[in-house]
Structure 1
Amino acid sequence: MAVAGLPAVVARNDLPERVTICEVGPRDGLQNESAIVPVGVKLEFLDRLVAAGHRVVEATSFVHPKWVPQLADAEELLSALDRHPGVRYPVLVPNAKGLSRALAAGVDEIAIFGSATETFAQRNLNRSVAESIEMFAPVVATARDRGLRVRAYLSMCFGDPWEGPVPLRQVADAAVALMSLGCTELSLGDTIGVATPGQVRALLHAVSDAGVGLEQVAVHFHDTYGQALANTLAALESGISIVDASAGGLGGCPYAESATGNLATEDLVWQLDGLGIETGVDLGTLVETSVWMARQLGRPSPSRVVQALGG
Protein backbone atom coordinates (compact mmCIF):
# COMPACT_ATOMS: atom_id res chain seq x y z
CA MET A 1 0.00 0.00 0.00
CA ALA A 2 1.47 3.36 -0.99
CA VAL A 3 1.38 6.13 1.57
CA ALA A 4 -0.18 9.18 -0.05
CA GLY A 5 1.78 11.73 1.91
CA LEU A 6 3.92 12.51 4.91
CA PRO A 7 3.80 15.55 7.19
CA ALA A 8 6.12 18.49 6.69
CA VAL A 9 8.75 18.44 9.40
CA VAL A 10 9.24 21.53 11.54
CA ALA A 11 11.21 20.62 14.64
CA ARG A 12 11.05 22.42 17.98
CA ASN A 13 13.96 22.56 20.40
CA ASP A 14 11.65 22.70 23.43
CA LEU A 15 10.33 19.18 22.92
CA PRO A 16 11.93 15.77 23.53
CA GLU A 17 14.08 14.42 20.71
CA ARG A 18 12.52 10.99 21.04
CA VAL A 19 9.21 9.68 22.36
CA THR A 20 8.61 6.10 23.45
CA ILE A 21 5.18 4.93 22.35
CA CYS A 22 3.56 2.30 24.54
CA GLU A 23 1.27 0.50 22.09
CA VAL A 24 -1.81 -0.63 24.01
CA GLY A 25 -4.02 -1.84 21.15
CA PRO A 26 -3.65 -5.59 21.75
CA ARG A 27 -4.73 -5.22 25.38
CA ASP A 28 -6.58 -1.97 26.06
CA GLY A 29 -7.90 -1.89 22.52
CA LEU A 30 -9.17 -5.44 22.16
CA GLN A 31 -10.52 -5.80 25.71
CA ASN A 32 -13.46 -3.59 24.77
CA GLU A 33 -14.49 -5.55 21.66
CA SER A 34 -17.92 -7.15 21.75
CA ALA A 35 -16.70 -10.20 19.82
CA ILE A 36 -13.84 -12.51 20.75
CA VAL A 37 -10.84 -12.01 18.46
CA PRO A 38 -9.11 -15.32 17.60
CA VAL A 39 -5.67 -15.95 19.06
CA GLY A 40 -4.16 -16.24 15.59
CA VAL A 41 -5.37 -12.77 14.70
CA LYS A 42 -3.99 -11.36 17.95
CA LEU A 43 -0.61 -12.96 17.32
CA GLU A 44 -0.45 -11.52 13.81
CA PHE A 45 -1.50 -8.13 15.17
CA LEU A 46 1.38 -8.21 17.67
CA ASP A 47 3.87 -9.25 14.99
CA ARG A 48 2.67 -6.52 12.61
CA LEU A 49 3.01 -3.88 15.33
CA VAL A 50 6.59 -4.97 16.03
CA ALA A 51 7.33 -4.97 12.29
CA ALA A 52 6.11 -1.37 12.20
CA GLY A 53 8.83 -0.47 14.69
CA HIS A 54 7.13 -0.67 18.08
CA ARG A 55 9.37 -1.69 20.95
CA VAL A 56 6.79 -1.60 23.75
CA VAL A 57 3.59 -3.53 22.99
CA GLU A 58 1.15 -4.38 25.76
CA ALA A 59 0.29 -7.95 24.91
CA THR A 60 -2.66 -9.04 27.04
CA SER A 61 -4.23 -9.10 30.50
CA PHE A 62 -4.49 -11.63 33.31
CA VAL A 63 -7.73 -10.19 34.66
CA HIS A 64 -10.23 -12.96 35.46
CA PRO A 65 -11.96 -14.13 32.24
CA LYS A 66 -15.35 -13.49 33.85
CA TRP A 67 -14.61 -9.74 33.80
CA VAL A 68 -12.69 -9.49 30.53
CA PRO A 69 -13.63 -12.53 28.42
CA GLN A 70 -11.99 -10.98 25.34
CA LEU A 71 -8.57 -11.68 26.89
CA ALA A 72 -9.29 -15.06 28.47
CA ASP A 73 -6.70 -16.60 26.13
CA ALA A 74 -3.70 -14.88 27.77
CA GLU A 75 -1.77 -18.08 28.50
CA GLU A 76 -2.42 -19.51 25.04
CA LEU A 77 -1.36 -16.27 23.38
CA LEU A 78 1.88 -15.89 25.33
CA SER A 79 2.86 -19.51 24.83
CA ALA A 80 2.59 -19.03 21.06
CA LEU A 81 4.04 -15.51 20.92
CA ASP A 82 7.29 -15.07 19.01
CA ARG A 83 9.02 -12.61 21.33
CA HIS A 84 11.33 -10.42 19.31
CA PRO A 85 14.65 -9.34 20.86
CA GLY A 86 14.59 -5.81 22.20
CA VAL A 87 10.79 -5.68 22.36
CA ARG A 88 8.96 -5.36 25.66
CA TYR A 89 5.61 -7.15 26.04
CA PRO A 90 4.04 -5.94 29.32
CA VAL A 91 0.85 -7.59 30.56
CA LEU A 92 -1.81 -6.28 32.92
CA VAL A 93 -2.30 -8.08 36.23
CA PRO A 94 -5.05 -7.16 38.72
CA ASN A 95 -3.81 -8.91 41.86
CA ALA A 96 -1.55 -11.63 43.28
CA LYS A 97 -3.42 -14.41 41.48
CA GLY A 98 -3.05 -12.60 38.18
CA LEU A 99 0.66 -12.15 38.86
CA SER A 100 1.07 -15.86 39.51
CA ARG A 101 -0.52 -16.63 36.16
CA ALA A 102 1.69 -14.06 34.45
CA LEU A 103 4.88 -15.38 36.04
CA ALA A 104 3.97 -18.93 35.01
CA ALA A 105 3.60 -17.63 31.46
CA GLY A 106 7.14 -16.26 31.55
CA VAL A 107 6.48 -12.53 31.39
CA ASP A 108 9.20 -10.01 32.23
CA GLU A 109 7.05 -6.90 32.68
CA ILE A 110 3.67 -6.28 34.27
CA ALA A 111 1.24 -3.44 34.78
CA ILE A 112 -1.21 -2.75 37.59
CA PHE A 113 -4.33 -0.62 37.26
CA GLY A 114 -5.23 1.80 40.04
CA SER A 115 -7.70 4.66 40.37
CA ALA A 116 -7.49 8.27 41.47
CA THR A 117 -11.16 8.26 42.56
CA GLU A 118 -13.03 6.22 45.13
CA THR A 119 -16.06 5.47 42.97
CA PHE A 120 -14.07 3.99 40.11
CA ALA A 121 -11.86 2.07 42.54
CA GLN A 122 -14.99 0.45 43.96
CA ARG A 123 -16.49 -0.27 40.55
CA ASN A 124 -13.29 -1.57 38.99
CA LEU A 125 -11.54 -3.24 41.94
CA ASN A 126 -14.33 -3.58 44.51
CA ARG A 127 -12.29 -1.75 47.12
CA SER A 128 -11.24 1.75 48.15
CA VAL A 129 -8.20 3.56 46.78
CA ALA A 130 -6.29 2.83 49.99
CA GLU A 131 -7.33 -0.82 49.96
CA SER A 132 -6.26 -1.15 46.33
CA ILE A 133 -2.80 0.20 47.20
CA GLU A 134 -2.58 -2.43 49.94
CA MET A 135 -3.58 -5.11 47.41
CA PHE A 136 -0.95 -3.95 44.93
CA ALA A 137 1.90 -3.78 47.46
CA PRO A 138 2.77 -7.52 47.53
CA VAL A 139 2.19 -7.77 43.77
CA VAL A 140 4.74 -5.05 43.05
CA ALA A 141 7.16 -6.37 45.67
CA THR A 142 7.10 -9.89 44.24
CA ALA A 143 7.44 -8.66 40.67
CA ARG A 144 10.38 -6.40 41.53
CA ASP A 145 12.06 -9.19 43.49
CA ARG A 146 11.83 -11.29 40.31
CA GLY A 147 13.48 -8.49 38.33
CA LEU A 148 10.32 -7.42 36.48
CA ARG A 149 9.52 -3.89 35.43
CA VAL A 150 6.19 -2.68 36.85
CA ARG A 151 4.05 -0.02 35.20
CA ALA A 152 1.29 1.57 37.26
CA TYR A 153 -1.77 2.85 35.47
CA LEU A 154 -3.65 5.56 37.33
CA SER A 155 -7.14 6.03 35.91
CA MET A 156 -9.65 8.89 36.21
CA CYS A 157 -6.88 11.47 36.59
CA PHE A 158 -8.74 14.31 34.87
CA GLY A 159 -12.40 13.57 35.41
CA ASP A 160 -14.71 10.85 36.70
CA PRO A 161 -18.23 10.17 35.33
CA TRP A 162 -19.58 9.77 38.87
CA GLU A 163 -17.50 12.28 40.83
CA GLY A 164 -16.84 14.95 38.21
CA PRO A 165 -13.55 16.92 38.12
CA VAL A 166 -10.76 15.31 40.14
CA PRO A 167 -8.65 17.58 42.39
CA LEU A 168 -4.99 17.79 41.38
CA ARG A 169 -3.78 16.98 44.88
CA GLN A 170 -5.94 13.85 44.97
CA VAL A 171 -4.31 12.57 41.78
CA ALA A 172 -0.82 13.52 42.92
CA ASP A 173 -1.32 11.70 46.24
CA ALA A 174 -2.46 8.54 44.42
CA ALA A 175 0.50 8.81 42.05
CA VAL A 176 2.95 9.05 44.95
CA ALA A 177 1.30 6.10 46.70
CA LEU A 178 1.65 3.88 43.63
CA MET A 179 5.23 4.87 42.87
CA SER A 180 6.19 4.41 46.53
CA LEU A 181 5.41 0.70 46.10
CA GLY A 182 8.42 0.42 43.79
CA CYS A 183 6.79 0.81 40.38
CA THR A 184 9.15 1.76 37.57
CA GLU A 185 6.69 3.78 35.49
CA LEU A 186 3.41 5.63 35.98
CA SER A 187 0.80 6.16 33.27
CA LEU A 188 -1.67 8.98 33.99
CA GLY A 189 -4.99 8.17 32.34
CA ASP A 190 -7.70 10.43 30.99
CA THR A 191 -10.09 7.51 31.11
CA ILE A 192 -13.17 9.34 29.84
CA GLY A 193 -11.37 11.79 27.58
CA VAL A 194 -12.37 15.06 29.27
CA ALA A 195 -8.91 16.62 29.81
CA THR A 196 -7.82 19.91 28.27
CA PRO A 197 -4.24 21.11 27.65
CA GLY A 198 -4.13 23.53 30.57
CA GLN A 199 -5.39 20.84 32.89
CA VAL A 200 -2.70 18.47 31.61
CA ARG A 201 0.05 20.98 32.35
CA ALA A 202 -1.37 21.68 35.81
CA LEU A 203 -1.60 17.99 36.72
CA LEU A 204 1.91 17.18 35.52
CA HIS A 205 3.22 20.13 37.52
CA ALA A 206 1.37 18.86 40.61
CA VAL A 207 2.69 15.31 40.17
CA SER A 208 6.23 16.58 39.70
CA ASP A 209 5.96 18.85 42.74
CA ALA A 210 4.79 15.83 44.76
CA GLY A 211 8.08 14.10 44.01
CA VAL A 212 7.36 11.86 41.02
CA GLY A 213 9.97 12.43 38.32
CA LEU A 214 8.38 13.12 34.94
CA GLU A 215 10.98 10.90 33.26
CA GLN A 216 9.02 8.01 34.83
CA VAL A 217 5.61 9.31 33.75
CA ALA A 218 3.55 8.44 30.68
CA VAL A 219 0.26 9.92 29.51
CA HIS A 220 -2.75 7.94 28.33
CA PHE A 221 -5.43 9.98 26.57
CA HIS A 222 -8.84 9.05 25.22
CA ASP A 223 -10.28 11.13 22.41
CA THR A 224 -13.89 11.54 23.53
CA TYR A 225 -13.88 15.31 22.91
CA GLY A 226 -11.19 15.38 20.24
CA GLN A 227 -8.54 16.69 22.64
CA ALA A 228 -6.10 13.78 22.77
CA LEU A 229 -3.50 15.21 20.38
CA ALA A 230 -3.66 18.68 21.92
CA ASN A 231 -3.29 17.14 25.35
CA THR A 232 -0.34 15.07 24.15
CA LEU A 233 1.44 18.17 22.87
CA ALA A 234 0.84 19.89 26.21
CA ALA A 235 2.36 16.86 27.94
CA LEU A 236 5.43 16.92 25.67
CA GLU A 237 5.86 20.63 26.38
CA SER A 238 5.78 19.76 30.08
CA GLY A 239 8.60 17.22 29.80
CA ILE A 240 6.82 13.93 29.08
CA SER A 241 8.49 11.52 26.65
CA ILE A 242 6.34 8.37 27.03
CA VAL A 243 2.91 8.28 25.38
CA ASP A 244 0.34 5.49 25.31
CA ALA A 245 -1.59 4.99 22.09
CA SER A 246 -3.67 2.33 20.37
CA ALA A 247 -3.28 1.29 16.74
CA GLY A 248 -6.30 2.43 14.76
CA GLY A 249 -7.79 4.12 17.82
CA LEU A 250 -9.08 0.85 19.24
CA GLY A 251 -10.39 0.68 22.76
CA GLY A 252 -12.35 2.23 25.55
CA CYS A 253 -12.98 1.05 29.09
CA PRO A 254 -15.45 -1.74 29.97
CA TYR A 255 -16.10 -0.14 33.38
CA ALA A 256 -16.68 3.44 32.17
CA GLU A 257 -19.33 3.59 29.47
CA SER A 258 -18.55 7.20 28.54
CA ALA A 259 -14.97 6.27 27.56
CA THR A 260 -14.44 6.17 23.81
CA GLY A 261 -11.39 5.06 21.89
CA ASN A 262 -7.79 5.66 22.81
CA LEU A 263 -5.58 8.14 21.02
CA ALA A 264 -4.86 6.49 17.66
CA THR A 265 -1.20 5.60 17.26
CA GLU A 266 -1.21 6.73 13.63
CA ASP A 267 -2.52 10.16 14.56
CA LEU A 268 0.16 10.42 17.23
CA VAL A 269 2.96 9.34 14.89
CA TRP A 270 1.83 11.84 12.22
CA GLN A 271 2.08 14.62 14.81
CA LEU A 272 5.42 13.46 16.18
CA ASP A 273 6.89 12.97 12.70
CA GLY A 274 5.84 16.51 11.84
CA LEU A 275 7.61 17.80 14.95
CA GLY A 276 10.79 15.94 14.04
CA ILE A 277 10.49 13.69 17.09
CA GLU A 278 11.86 10.18 16.69
CA THR A 279 9.66 7.21 17.57
CA GLY A 280 11.15 4.35 15.55
CA VAL A 281 7.67 3.62 14.18
CA ASP A 282 7.07 3.56 10.43
CA LEU A 283 3.78 5.30 9.68
CA GLY A 284 3.06 3.50 6.42
CA THR A 285 3.52 0.04 7.91
CA LEU A 286 1.40 1.02 10.91
CA VAL A 287 -1.42 2.27 8.68
CA GLU A 288 -1.35 -1.02 6.79
CA THR A 289 -1.59 -2.86 10.10
CA SER A 290 -4.65 -0.91 11.24
CA VAL A 291 -6.36 -1.28 7.87
CA TRP A 292 -5.79 -5.03 8.18
CA MET A 293 -7.07 -5.09 11.77
CA ALA A 294 -10.15 -3.08 10.84
CA ARG A 295 -11.00 -5.78 8.30
CA GLN A 296 -10.66 -8.46 10.97
CA LEU A 297 -13.08 -6.51 13.19
CA GLY A 298 -15.48 -5.76 10.35
CA ARG A 299 -15.54 -1.97 10.69
CA PRO A 300 -13.46 1.03 9.63
CA SER A 301 -10.81 2.50 11.87
CA PRO A 302 -11.73 5.77 13.62
CA SER A 303 -8.16 7.05 13.17
CA ARG A 304 -8.11 10.15 10.97
CA VAL A 305 -4.69 9.26 9.59
CA VAL A 306 -5.78 5.70 8.77
CA GLN A 307 -8.80 7.13 6.97
CA ALA A 308 -6.64 9.61 5.05
CA LEU A 309 -3.81 7.24 4.10
CA GLY A 310 -5.42 3.83 4.24
CA GLY A 311 -7.11 4.21 0.88
Structure 2
Amino acid sequence: MNWDMKGQLPEKVQMLELLLRDGLQHSAKVIPVETKLWFADQFVRAGYRVIEVTNFAHPRFMPQHRDAEDILKRVSELESVKKNNVHLKCYGMTRRAFERAAECAQSGYPPHSVAFTISAEDLHGRRNSGRTREEYFEEIPDFVRIAKENGFEIDMAIACVYGSPCAGPVPIENTIELMERGLDLGIRRFTPCDTTGESNPLRSYEYMATLVDRFGKYDDEIQFRVAHFHDARGMALANY
Protein backbone atom coordinates (compact mmCIF):
# COMPACT_ATOMS: atom_id res chain seq x y z
CA MET A 1 0.00 0.00 0.00
CA ASN A 2 1.24 3.48 -0.87
CA TRP A 3 0.79 5.61 2.24
CA ASP A 4 2.24 8.79 0.72
CA MET A 5 -0.53 10.44 -1.28
CA LYS A 6 1.08 13.90 -1.50
CA GLY A 7 2.09 13.45 -5.11
CA GLN A 8 -1.36 12.11 -5.99
CA LEU A 9 -3.46 14.94 -4.59
CA PRO A 10 -5.37 16.93 -7.22
CA GLU A 11 -4.85 20.63 -7.77
CA LYS A 12 -8.55 21.20 -7.14
CA VAL A 13 -11.61 19.28 -6.00
CA GLN A 14 -15.20 19.40 -7.13
CA MET A 15 -17.94 19.80 -4.55
CA LEU A 16 -21.36 18.20 -4.98
CA GLU A 17 -24.39 19.94 -3.47
CA LEU A 18 -26.79 17.47 -1.82
CA LEU A 19 -29.47 19.53 -0.11
CA LEU A 20 -32.27 19.08 -2.64
CA ARG A 21 -31.97 15.29 -2.53
CA ASP A 22 -30.22 14.02 0.59
CA GLY A 23 -30.81 17.03 2.79
CA LEU A 24 -34.56 17.23 2.28
CA GLN A 25 -35.58 13.62 1.70
CA HIS A 26 -36.60 12.95 5.31
CA SER A 27 -38.09 16.36 6.02
CA ALA A 28 -41.52 16.04 7.64
CA LYS A 29 -42.66 19.17 5.82
CA VAL A 30 -42.94 19.05 2.03
CA ILE A 31 -40.89 21.90 0.59
CA PRO A 32 -42.56 23.85 -2.27
CA VAL A 33 -41.06 23.51 -5.74
CA GLU A 34 -40.40 27.25 -5.94
CA THR A 35 -38.30 27.07 -2.78
CA LYS A 36 -36.28 24.18 -4.20
CA LEU A 37 -35.72 26.14 -7.40
CA TRP A 38 -34.48 29.11 -5.40
CA PHE A 39 -31.98 26.90 -3.59
CA ALA A 40 -30.78 25.34 -6.84
CA ASP A 41 -30.20 28.75 -8.40
CA GLN A 42 -28.33 29.99 -5.32
CA PHE A 43 -26.10 26.91 -5.29
CA VAL A 44 -25.07 27.53 -8.89
CA ARG A 45 -24.45 31.21 -8.20
CA ALA A 46 -22.25 30.17 -5.27
CA GLY A 47 -20.11 28.09 -7.63
CA TYR A 48 -21.49 24.54 -7.49
CA ARG A 49 -21.40 22.74 -10.83
CA VAL A 50 -22.84 19.40 -9.70
CA ILE A 51 -26.20 19.23 -7.90
CA GLU A 52 -28.21 16.26 -6.71
CA VAL A 53 -31.69 17.31 -7.73
CA THR A 54 -34.16 14.65 -6.61
CA ASN A 55 -34.93 11.01 -5.90
CA PHE A 56 -37.24 8.92 -8.09
CA ALA A 57 -38.39 6.93 -5.07
CA HIS A 58 -42.05 5.98 -4.71
CA PRO A 59 -43.91 8.93 -3.12
CA ARG A 60 -45.24 6.60 -0.44
CA PHE A 61 -41.72 6.18 0.89
CA MET A 62 -40.41 9.67 0.18
CA PRO A 63 -43.25 12.17 -0.16
CA GLN A 64 -40.68 14.98 -0.28
CA HIS A 65 -39.72 13.82 -3.77
CA ARG A 66 -43.18 13.31 -5.20
CA ASP A 67 -42.34 16.24 -7.50
CA ALA A 68 -39.27 14.49 -8.96
CA GLU A 69 -40.09 14.93 -12.65
CA ASP A 70 -41.27 18.51 -12.22
CA ILE A 71 -38.27 19.62 -10.18
CA LEU A 72 -35.79 18.02 -12.61
CA LYS A 73 -37.46 19.72 -15.57
CA ARG A 74 -37.64 23.12 -13.93
CA VAL A 75 -34.11 23.04 -12.51
CA SER A 76 -32.80 22.12 -15.96
CA GLU A 77 -34.56 25.22 -17.34
CA LEU A 78 -32.92 27.66 -14.92
CA GLU A 79 -30.73 30.16 -16.76
CA SER A 80 -27.93 29.76 -14.23
CA VAL A 81 -27.94 25.98 -14.73
CA LYS A 82 -27.90 26.23 -18.53
CA LYS A 83 -25.28 28.98 -18.60
CA ASN A 84 -22.87 27.05 -16.37
CA ASN A 85 -23.45 23.55 -17.78
CA VAL A 86 -24.38 22.24 -14.35
CA HIS A 87 -24.37 18.46 -13.95
CA LEU A 88 -27.78 17.38 -12.62
CA LYS A 89 -27.69 14.13 -10.69
CA CYS A 90 -30.70 12.13 -9.50
CA TYR A 91 -31.26 9.02 -7.40
CA GLY A 92 -33.13 5.79 -8.02
CA MET A 93 -33.13 2.49 -6.17
CA THR A 94 -35.38 0.40 -8.42
CA ARG A 95 -35.91 -0.38 -12.08
CA ARG A 96 -39.07 1.74 -12.03
CA ALA A 97 -37.03 4.68 -10.74
CA PHE A 98 -34.62 4.32 -13.65
CA GLU A 99 -37.56 4.05 -16.03
CA ARG A 100 -38.90 7.35 -14.69
CA ALA A 101 -35.49 8.94 -15.28
CA ALA A 102 -35.58 7.53 -18.81
CA GLU A 103 -39.03 9.04 -19.37
CA CYS A 104 -37.61 12.42 -18.38
CA ALA A 105 -34.79 11.96 -20.88
CA GLN A 106 -37.26 11.03 -23.60
CA SER A 107 -39.30 14.14 -22.76
CA GLY A 108 -36.30 16.42 -23.29
CA TYR A 109 -34.98 17.04 -19.78
CA PRO A 110 -32.56 14.20 -19.03
CA PRO A 111 -30.58 13.85 -15.83
CA HIS A 112 -26.86 13.75 -16.48
CA SER A 113 -26.48 10.83 -14.09
CA VAL A 114 -28.59 8.63 -11.84
CA ALA A 115 -27.17 6.99 -8.73
CA PHE A 116 -28.34 3.96 -6.81
CA THR A 117 -27.19 2.87 -3.36
CA ILE A 118 -25.99 -0.64 -2.59
CA SER A 119 -24.83 -1.46 0.93
CA ALA A 120 -21.41 -2.93 1.59
CA GLU A 121 -22.99 -5.41 4.02
CA ASP A 122 -26.29 -7.24 3.80
CA LEU A 123 -27.99 -6.49 7.13
CA HIS A 124 -28.03 -2.78 6.30
CA GLY A 125 -28.90 -3.60 2.70
CA ARG A 126 -31.98 -5.50 3.80
CA ARG A 127 -33.16 -2.60 5.96
CA ASN A 128 -32.28 0.14 3.47
CA SER A 129 -33.39 -1.37 0.16
CA GLY A 130 -34.95 -4.72 1.04
CA ARG A 131 -32.23 -6.62 -0.82
CA THR A 132 -28.92 -8.34 -0.26
CA ARG A 133 -25.99 -7.54 -2.52
CA GLU A 134 -26.61 -10.66 -4.60
CA GLU A 135 -30.30 -9.84 -4.96
CA TYR A 136 -29.41 -6.30 -6.02
CA PHE A 137 -27.05 -7.55 -8.72
CA GLU A 138 -29.98 -9.33 -10.34
CA GLU A 139 -31.43 -5.87 -11.08
CA ILE A 140 -28.35 -3.73 -11.70
CA PRO A 141 -27.85 -4.88 -15.33
CA ASP A 142 -31.29 -3.39 -16.08
CA PHE A 143 -30.21 -0.10 -14.50
CA VAL A 144 -27.11 -0.04 -16.70
CA ARG A 145 -29.09 -0.88 -19.84
CA ILE A 146 -31.72 1.81 -19.20
CA ALA A 147 -29.05 4.44 -18.52
CA LYS A 148 -27.10 3.55 -21.65
CA GLU A 149 -30.19 3.51 -23.87
CA ASN A 150 -31.28 6.94 -22.62
CA GLY A 151 -27.97 8.78 -22.56
CA PHE A 152 -27.29 9.30 -18.87
CA GLU A 153 -24.53 7.96 -16.67
CA ILE A 154 -24.97 5.61 -13.74
CA ASP A 155 -23.32 5.99 -10.34
CA MET A 156 -22.91 3.15 -7.84
CA ALA A 157 -23.09 4.68 -4.37
CA ILE A 158 -21.77 2.18 -1.82
CA ALA A 159 -23.26 2.59 1.65
CA CYS A 160 -21.60 1.78 4.99
CA VAL A 161 -18.13 1.33 3.53
CA TYR A 162 -16.43 2.07 6.86
CA GLY A 163 -18.93 0.40 9.13
CA SER A 164 -22.57 -0.36 9.66
CA PRO A 165 -24.90 0.27 12.61
CA CYS A 166 -26.29 -3.20 11.89
CA ALA A 167 -23.10 -5.26 11.63
CA GLY A 168 -20.20 -3.18 12.94
CA PRO A 169 -16.94 -2.70 10.97
CA VAL A 170 -17.11 -3.57 7.27
CA PRO A 171 -13.95 -4.83 5.47
CA ILE A 172 -12.76 -2.78 2.53
CA GLU A 173 -12.73 -5.97 0.47
CA ASN A 174 -16.53 -5.69 0.31
CA THR A 175 -16.25 -2.31 -1.40
CA ILE A 176 -13.54 -3.50 -3.78
CA GLU A 177 -15.66 -6.50 -4.80
CA LEU A 178 -18.69 -4.29 -5.50
CA MET A 179 -16.61 -1.88 -7.57
CA GLU A 180 -15.04 -4.69 -9.58
CA ARG A 181 -18.44 -6.21 -10.30
CA GLY A 182 -19.75 -2.78 -11.25
CA LEU A 183 -16.85 -2.26 -13.64
CA ASP A 184 -17.61 -5.59 -15.28
CA LEU A 185 -21.18 -4.36 -15.90
CA GLY A 186 -20.02 -1.08 -17.42
CA ILE A 187 -20.43 1.26 -14.44
CA ARG A 188 -17.82 4.02 -14.42
CA ARG A 189 -18.88 6.19 -11.45
CA PHE A 190 -18.51 5.07 -7.84
CA THR A 191 -19.27 6.92 -4.60
CA PRO A 192 -18.04 5.30 -1.36
CA CYS A 193 -20.27 6.57 1.46
CA ASP A 194 -19.75 6.85 5.21
CA THR A 195 -23.50 6.51 5.63
CA THR A 196 -23.75 6.75 9.41
CA GLY A 197 -20.57 8.64 10.32
CA GLU A 198 -18.43 5.65 11.31
CA SER A 199 -15.05 6.87 10.02
CA ASN A 200 -12.25 9.05 11.33
CA PRO A 201 -9.44 10.89 9.47
CA LEU A 202 -6.90 8.05 9.72
CA ARG A 203 -9.35 5.40 8.54
CA SER A 204 -10.50 7.67 5.73
CA TYR A 205 -6.91 8.22 4.57
CA GLU A 206 -6.07 4.51 4.72
CA TYR A 207 -9.27 3.62 2.91
CA MET A 208 -8.76 6.00 0.00
CA ALA A 209 -5.08 5.03 -0.26
CA THR A 210 -6.15 1.41 -0.66
CA LEU A 211 -8.69 2.28 -3.36
CA VAL A 212 -6.12 4.39 -5.20
CA ASP A 213 -3.66 1.50 -5.12
CA ARG A 214 -6.30 -0.83 -6.53
CA PHE A 215 -8.14 1.40 -9.02
CA GLY A 216 -5.76 4.30 -9.72
CA LYS A 217 -4.74 2.72 -13.02
CA TYR A 218 -8.31 3.36 -14.22
CA ASP A 219 -8.25 7.10 -13.46
CA ASP A 220 -8.75 8.02 -17.11
CA GLU A 221 -11.81 5.77 -17.34
CA ILE A 222 -13.66 5.88 -14.03
CA GLN A 223 -14.56 8.20 -11.17
CA PHE A 224 -13.96 6.82 -7.70
CA ARG A 225 -11.92 9.42 -5.79
CA VAL A 226 -15.09 10.60 -4.11
CA ALA A 227 -15.82 11.25 -0.45
CA HIS A 228 -19.29 11.28 1.12
CA PHE A 229 -19.23 11.63 4.91
CA HIS A 230 -22.15 12.03 7.30
CA ASP A 231 -21.58 14.04 10.45
CA ALA A 232 -23.27 11.75 12.98
CA ARG A 233 -20.19 11.80 15.22
CA GLY A 234 -18.89 15.24 14.32
CA MET A 235 -16.04 13.94 12.14
CA ALA A 236 -17.22 14.69 8.61
CA LEU A 237 -15.16 17.83 7.94
CA ALA A 238 -12.07 16.31 9.55
CA ASN A 239 -12.44 13.24 7.33
CA TYR A 240 -12.53 15.37 4.20
Alignment of 1:263-302 (within 5 A): none
How far apart are 1:223 and its partner, in Å? 1.2
Say whether residues 1:180 and 2:188 are aligned partners: no
Tell me which amino acid in the other structure corresponds to 1:89. L
> 1:187-230: CA deviations, max 9, x gaps?
11001101012211222233344446466111100112221122
Tell me which amino acid in the other structure corresponds to 2:43. L
> 1:62-100: CA deviations, max 9, x gaps?
011111111111012123222423111111011221111
Three-state SS of the structure 2 residue aligned to 1:123 is helix
Please name the residue that 2:3 is paired with. none
Say whether residues 1:51 and 2:50 are aligned partners: no
How far apart are 1:15 and its partner, in Å? 3.4
Write the distance in 2 (CA, Å) between the matches of 1:21 and 1:48: 15
Tell me which amino acid in the other structure corresponds to 1:93. G
Please name the residue that 1:226 is paired with. 234
Unaligned segments of structure 2, at least 5 residues: 1-5
TM-score (structure 1 length as normaliser): 0.66
> 1:145-173: CA deviations, max 9, x gaps?
33312111110011100100111212221
Please name the residue that 1:99 is paired with. 98
Say whether residues 1:126 and 2:108 are aligned partners: no
Unaligned segments of structure 1, at least 5 residues: 1-11, 233-311
Bigger relative contact order, structure 1 or 2, given CA contacts below 8 A and separation 6+? 1
Q: 1:111 aligns with which of 110, 115, 121?
A: 115
Q: 2:167 aligns with which of 151, 163, 184?
A: 163
Alignment of 1:208-227 (within 5 A): 208-211=212-215, 213=218, 216-217=223-224, 218-227=226-235
Please name the residue that 1:264 is paired with. none
Identity %: 31
Is the Cα contact below 8 Å between 2:102 and 2:146 reproduced in 1?
no
Write the distance in 2 (CA, Å) between the matches of 1:179 and 1:36: 37
Three-state SS of the structure 1 residue aligned to 2:155 is strand
Root mean square deviation of aligned Cα? 1.9
Write the distance in 2 (CA, Å) between the matches of 1:123 and 1:226: 24
Taking structure 1 as reference, are residues 180 and 14 closer, same or farther at Cα in structure 2, changes over 3 Å only?
closer
Please name the residue that 2:89 is paired with. 90
Write the distance in 1 (CA, Å) between the matches of 2:74 and 2:129: 30
Taking structure 1 as reference, are residues 179 and 185 closer, same or farther at Cα in structure 2, changes over 3 Å only?
same
Write the distance in 1 (CA, Å) between the matches of 2:9 and 2:206: 18
Is the Cα contact below 8 Å between 2:193 and 2:228 reproduced in 1?
yes
> 1:229-253: CA deviations, max 9, x gaps?
2211xxxxxxxxxxxxxxxxxxxxx
Is the Cα contact below 8 Å between 1:121 and 1:132 reproduced in 2?
no
Tell me which amino acid in the other structure corresponds to 2:160. M
Tell me which amino acid in the other structure corresponds to 1:99. F
Tell me which amino acid in the other structure corresponds to 1:138. D
Three-state SS of the structure 2 residue aligned to 1:122 is helix
Please name the residue that 2:57 is paired with. 63
How far apart are 1:19 and its partner, in Å? 0.5
**Which one is further off, 40-49 or 79-88?**
79-88
Please name the residue that 1:237 is paired with. none
Alignment of 1:24-39 (within 5 A): 24-39=18-33
Say whether residues 1:149 and 2:168 are aligned partners: no
Is the Cα contact below 8 Å between 1:60 and 1:74 reproduced in 2?
yes
TM-score (structure 2 length as normaliser): 0.85
Three-state SS of the structure 2 residue aligned to 1:113 is strand
Q: 2:67 aligns with which of 44, 66, 73?
A: 73
Write the distance in 2 (CA, Å) between the matches of 1:170 and 1:22: 25
Say whether residues 1:138 and 2:132 are aligned partners: no
How far apart are 1:48 and its partner, in Å? 1.0
